[in-house]
């Protein structure tokens, strides 16, 4: 998640400084809300013991984003970034839990793919940290290299739901695109966009404006396909009830047949 970086320029006024601090605090709050927004989804996955048609892409992208911002906040890269480390360290831990839950309740090729992507992410971030910190002597260059990678991965995180949006349009159902996650992305992106405009920081503005636009697109899909989603869910419930009734009738018939034979 985007860190609340310390401004390199003096505050223009007490009012603008206060606004800057407020936006930074709000951004941090929405960052944690975004991290926790998939909890209902994974409660459903754990309860059903299946990932169903949920995608692992948003969680893998968020994990890569958090790990890289954690590297960015390390003292050799960007000193005095305790807030960056705490926010993104927490985000890394939370996203790892999500990915491991996804692995636990997925099977076959899907599980192997997620495990491979997770391994590649860990190797990539480890290589970036080792090479940049170990081989680049200039701290400002280290900050620039990792910062650019962070912006790219933040954009990737916001773009990850595109595959889910395609499924939504094809199936006319938003069941596997959680509303809470879409709302959290919208408010998080909006708060960090406001923060970036106050700071005139293009690197923070670009991925978060994209995040806001993609989140709006997701919310529009929720409005468009809400009723059709409810109809599909209700139809599945009715089908399940009919199947259960047929099973119960079959069990009763089997018991009756056994009783007749014994007589």
Instruction: Assign 132 a pLDDT band (cuts: 50, 70, 90).
Output: very high
Sorted by where each begins, the domain ranges of the chain are: 14-225
User: How many percent of the chain have pLDDT more than 70?
Assistant: 81
Query: Structure pTM?
Result: 0.73
Q: Is pLDDT larger for residue 96 or for residue 233?
A: 96
| Per-residue pLDDT reduced to its tens digit, 29-58 | 888 888 888 899 899 999 999 998 888 988
Tell me what percent of the residues of the chain surpass a pLDDT of 90.
32
Highest averaged pLDDT of the listed ranges 3-12, 61-70, 193-202:
61-70
The CA-based angle 55-59-61, given to 5 degrees, is 105
The pLDDT tens digits for 69-84 are 899 889 999 887 777 7
């Amino acid at each position: 998640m985007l860190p609340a970086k310390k401004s390199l320029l003096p505050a223009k006024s007490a009012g603008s400084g206060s606004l800057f601090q407020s936006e930074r605090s709000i951004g941090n709050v929405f960052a944690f809300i975004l991290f926790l927004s998939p909890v209902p989804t994974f409660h459903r996955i754990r309860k059903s013991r299946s990932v169903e048609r949920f995608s692992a892409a948003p969680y893998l992208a968020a994990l890569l984003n958090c790990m890289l911002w954690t590297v960015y906040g390390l003292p050799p890269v960007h000193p005095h970034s305790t807030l960056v480390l705490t926010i993104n360290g927490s985000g890394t831990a939370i996203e790892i839990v999500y990915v491991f839950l996804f692995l636990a309740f997925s099977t076959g090729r899907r599980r192997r793919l997620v495990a491979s992507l997770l391994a590649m992410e860990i190797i990539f971030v480890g290589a970036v940290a080792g090479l940049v910190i170990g081989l680049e002597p200039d701290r400002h260059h280290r900050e620039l290299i990792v910062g650019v990678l962070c912006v790219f991965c933040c954009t990737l995180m916001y773009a990850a739901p595109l595959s889910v949006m395609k499924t939504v349009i094809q199936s006319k159902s938003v069941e596997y695109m959680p509303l809470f996650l879409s709302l959290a992305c919208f408010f998080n992106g909006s708060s960090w966009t406001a923060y970036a405009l106050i700071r005139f920081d293009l690197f923070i503005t670009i991925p978060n404006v994209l995040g806001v636009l993609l989140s709006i697109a997701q919310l529009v899909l929720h409005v468009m396909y809400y009723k059709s989603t409810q109809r599909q869910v209700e139809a599945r419930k009715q089908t399940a009830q009919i199947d259960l009734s047929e099973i119960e009738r079959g069990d009763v018939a089997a018991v009756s047949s056994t009783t007749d034979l014994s007589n």
